[in-house]
Amino acid sequence: METKNTKGAMEMSVGTIVTIVLLMSVLVLGIFFISKIFTSSNNAINSIDTQIQNEINQMFSDGKTLKLAVYPSSRIITVKRGASPPQGFAFSIYNNAKTQADFTYSIKASDVTDCQGTVTESQANSYVLGGTTLNPIPIGGSQMLSNARLVQFPVPESMPSCTVKYDLLLYRDGSAYDSADISVTFK
């Protein structure tokens, strides 16, 4: 009689262990997929496709009075060192004036303290591709830039892992128009 009870207890233990292993597998997969969904909003981009352009257009059409839209909208970007093609972010401009205006922009490193002296501001600025415009961008009154601009960071693999804060400065007809701070983590 005692052997039957032990056998039943043993079968229940194996069944419980199998159930726990299966549930843990489902839990791990669930956490993996959820983390992928939420981290995609911080990922750097390497090209502007229709989906990104639509996201930027949506930012302007949400009833907000934005003059500058940055994608990803969190303005916190993770760039892989040595990535090919280089990764970065996109932005677009809205002219809130009733007449056409010429826009220019520049992107400059503003804080490299996280790099603990291994990267200077001038080095951080040298990693910006598409960080300034030499020719003015004409935008009609109450219009937005038809194609978003892409700013990339072609950083070498030798760049230390750290976070650099950049300022995106936007000018309309030579006068300050808007700005945004972008936090770029190089990993």
pLDDT digits (tens, 9 = 90+) for 72-113: 989 999 999 998 889 999 999 999 999 999 999 999 999 999
Q: How far apart are CA 167 and CA 151, in angstroms?
A: 12
pLDDT tens digits, residue range 111-146? Answer: 999 999 999 999 999 999 987 777 899 999 999 998
- Residue 25's region, left for phi above 0, alpha for psi from -120 to 50, else beta, is alpha
Looking at residue 163, its pLDDT comes to 96
State which residues form the domain around 10: 1-40
CA 143 to each of CA 42, 54, 97, 151, 174: distance values in angstroms, whole numbers, following the listed order: 28, 15, 9, 21, 18
Residues 131 and 49 in one domain: yes
Please write the tens of the pLDDT for every residue from 25-44.
888 888 877 766 655 445 66
Residues 25 and 47 in one domain: no
Do both 14 and 95 map to the same domain? no
